[in-house]
Structure formats: structure tokens, C-alpha cells
Amino acid sequence: MRINTEQVTQHLKGKLASIYLFTGAEPLQLQEAYDLLIVEARKKGFNTRTRLDANTGFDGSLLRLHSQNFSLLSDQQLIEISLPAGNPGSSGSEALCEYAENPPPDTLLMVRTGKLESSAAASKWIKMIEKHGVIIQSWPIPLDKIPQWLAKRLALVHLQTDKHGLNLLAERIEGNLLAGAQAVEKLHLLYGEGNLTVEHIATAISDSAQYDVFALVDAGLQGNLERCLHILNVLQEEGVAAAIVLWAMLREIRLLATLCFQLKSIPLVQVLNQAKIWEKRKPLVAAALQRISLESTYDLLEKAHLIDRAIKGGSDHDPWEGLSQLCLQLAKPSLIKKSTYDNRS
């Protein structure tokens, strides 16, 4: 069977399965679900823990050794297998299938991976665990659901705030659940229990979103101007050099210019493949190419040249003002009018 991390508490009220697989893209949710199962296993007498770590597969004979010979001892045992790459290898896969079909009565097996690729998710060992055990999955929480998640988190420590406070807190952590959990802990330490005002949150919580120049570029490619400008503002406040920001944006603009030129004679799919763009980034780049013309990339390159001059002291332009306009022109080229930045001496 498969359950999500929010269903773990209810699941643990019943009988434990013999094998569990923890997988998904949200590490905080997985870790907390994993910890809940560890606590419950201890309550039920699984007092001896054995850990088997493997980056790209593991020796299946180790699992057989620990699971088959442990019956000589009195305590029940918990075996934990860590598979960061999500691939147990042929030997490990065979052993996991054998265990799932015929588990020893005194052993509980917990397997932990990161997010599984689609090919791995369809493998035999995954199907065997799903058939005979439990797969616990986590998924990233959509940004519009983060305030609701924060409200539940605050309630656990007897704190509450209104929708403005939740929205502010959500904006500050923007999808980073670990930062959100830490923020709630900090608020609890500072204010104890009760009601939080917007002022409380603004004072206590710094911007915990993990922004970098590459997140800025991705927001621009997505056409998400609001996010793009917010990230740019955070980068400036954190003291990131304007030259670093320009370098990242300029690298992407040059790529777009090349791809736009090639699109005049080559289909989009072929252009993206020839450029060796990562599979996960292809939708971003493709979306940008639908908004941006070859002429627009020339304008972007010209503006980037002006920003570079300002950074080097060759003009009195404000580099950060120029970068904000570069973000606008990349994310929303249809909104662009002749810029006062370009005309200033």
C-alpha cells in the first residue's frame, strides 16, 4: 500500500508492516514520518537497530545475514537501509524482494531513499514493497498551501495568527519547510503561547528563503516577475555582488539569443536537444522562447552591457535599477517601454 506523510500517525495506530519504504522530494516531512515510526517501533519492542548504508546499491547478503540470523536473540530488531541514489543494485533488489515476500517475524525493515525517478519507481523491488509492505511518500507543498501548513505547525505549539501573519511568514520561508519549522520554533521560544501579530513575525523572522542567482534566472525564465524582483531584492539585501547577478543573467540571455537564432530553421525539440539542456530545465527554457524574440535578446544584451559599465564605474547608472529592468524585460517583455535607464548619461 501507499500512504502520504500526513497519514502516518493514523497508520501507526494499527499493526506495523514488516517493511517500509520512505521516498519523496520533501526531506522534512520524510524525516518526521521516519522518526514517528522509529518511536512506535521502540514501543513495540524493536530495540536493536542495524544500519546498512549504500550510495549506489548494497550487498544483499548483508540483509539476509542480519534478518535470518537474528532469531537467535531475544529482542526484536529494526534494520534501516539508506539508499540516497534510490538504486539498491541487482543484489540488493533481489534481497529486498525476498524479504518482502517472506519477512522474519522478529524484524522490521525500513528503507529510505530520496525522490525516485519514474524508471526506478516501476522496478520490481518497489512493486514488491508496495504489495507486501508500506510505501510512505512526500510531495512538495504548493506555495498557496504553505499558509495552511504553517497554521497547523503553529497550532502544535499553541500559537496562532491571522491570515496576514500567515502570508507574511509564508513569504519569508517560501516553500522551504525546514526554514518554516525553524521559524515556528523561534517564534515559540520568543513569545511562548498565544496570538502572534504581524509585527511579532516581522521582527522575529528574517527572510529564510534559499535564494541564489540561479533561482533568480529560473523565475525570469518562468515569466514570474513578482518572484524575480523579490529574489533580486533579497540578493541585494544579502550583499551579493551585482556583478555575480549580472553574470548569471547574461549567461542565460546569451543562450536564449543562440536558441532564438537556431529556431528560425530548426524545430524547438531539436534546438533544446542540441544545446544539451537538462531535461528538468527544458520546460523553463521552452516557455521563455515562446515569449522572447531574437530582437528582444539583442535588447537584453545591450542593457546588460550598460549594467556592466555601471558596475565598473563607467556611468552613473544604478546597477541594481538596471538589473530590476533586466528582470522585467526577461520575464515580461510585452510590458517593456523605452527605459529611462538607457537614456541617462
pLDDT at 19 over 70: yes
Of 185, 204, 223, the last residue of a domain is 204
Could you tell me what percent of the chain has a pLDDT over 70?
Answer: 90
Residue 160 pairs in a beta bridge with 195
The CA angle 13-14-18, to the nearest 5 degrees, is: 120
On whether residue 343 sits in a domain, the answer given is no
CA-atom Rg of the chain in angstroms? 26
Q: Is the pLDDT of residue 207 over 60?
A: no
80 and 196 both lie in a single domain: no
Residue 208 has pLDDT above 80, yes or no: no
| Residues 188, 92 share a domain | no
Report pLDDT for 323. Answer: 94
Is 190 among the domain residues? yes
Q: Are residues 114 and 183 in the same domain?
A: no
Long-range contacts of 142-151 (CB under 8 A, 24+ apart): 143/170, 143/174, 143/175, 146/170, 146/173, 146/174, 146/175, 146/180, 149/177, 149/180, 150/180, 150/184
In a domain, 33, yes or no: yes
pLDDT at residue 340 in the model: 47
- % of the chain exceeding 90 in pLDDT: 17
Domain check: are 8 and 134 in the same one?
Answer: yes
- At 66 the pLDDT is 72
Q: Are residues 44 and 85 in the same domain?
A: yes
Domain that holds residue 303: 213-338
In a domain, residue 193? The reply is yes
* 109 touches 20 (CB < 8 A): yes
More confident residue, 206 or 164: 164
Q: With cut-offs at 50, 70 and 90, classify the pLDDT of residue 147.
A: very high
- Residues 93 and 197 placed together within one structural domain of the fold: no
Domain boundary (138, 161, 192) is at: 138
Q: Which of 166-175, 212-221, 244-253 is predicted least confidently?
A: 166-175
Average pLDDT over residues 19-41: 89
| 326: CATH | 1.20.272.10
| Three-state SS sequence of the chain | CEEEHHHHHHHCCCCCCCEEEEEECCHHHHHHHHHHHHHHHHHCCEEEEEEEECCCCCCHHHHHHHHHHHHHCCCEEEEEEEECCCCCHHHHHHHHHHHHHCCCCCEEEEEEECCCCHHHHCCHHHHHHHHHCEEEEECCCCHHHHHHHHHHHHHHCCEEECHHHHHHHHHHHCCCHHHHHHHHHHHHHHHCCEEECHHHHHHHCCCCCCCCHHHHHHHHHHCCHHHHHHHHHHHHHCCCCHHHHHHHHHHHHHHHHHHHHHCCCCCHHHHHHHCCCCHHHHHHHHHHHHHCCHHHHHHHHHHHHHHHHHHCCCCCCCHHHHHHHHHHHHHCHHHCCCCHHHHCC
Question: What was the pLDDT predicted at 100?
Answer: 86
344 domain residue, yes or no:
no
Average pLDDT, the chain: 83
CATH number at residue 155: 1.10.8.60
- CATH number, domain of 8, equals 3.40.50.300
The mean pLDDT value for 169-174 works out to 81
Please identify, among 92, 112, 138, the residue that sits at the C-terminal boundary of a domain. Answer: 138
User: Which pLDDT tens digit goes with each residue over 240-292?
Assistant: 888 888 988 988 898 888 888 888 888 888 888 777 777 777 888 888 888 88
Q: How far is CA 301 from CA 114, 236, 246, in A?
A: 39, 21, 11
Q: Is residue 318 part of a domain?
A: yes
Q: Are residues 122 and 161 in the same domain?
A: no
Q: State residue 98's pLDDT score.
A: 86
Instruction: Answer whether residue 50 shows pLDDT above 90.
Output: no
Same domain, 180 and 69: no
156 domain-assigned: yes
Same domain, 134 and 147: no
Together in a domain, 88 and 147: no
- Residue 151, pLDDT > 90, answer yes
In the chain, the amino acid numbered 163 is K
How do residues 122-143 score in pLDDT, each as one tens digit? 788 888 989 999 999 888 888 8
Q: Report the C-alpha gap between 62 and 92 in whole angstroms.
A: 9
Structural domain count of the chain: 3
Clarify whether residues 237 and 197 are in a common domain: no
Residue 268 burial (CB count, 10 A): 15
In this prediction, residues 23-40 reach a mean pLDDT of 88
Whether 69 is in a domain gets the answer yes
- At CA 313, angle to CA 310 and CA 319, rounded to 5? 25
* pLDDT band at 344; cut points 50, 70, 90: very low
**Do 133 and 155 share a structural domain?**
no
Chain-centroid distance of CA 117 in Å reads: 15
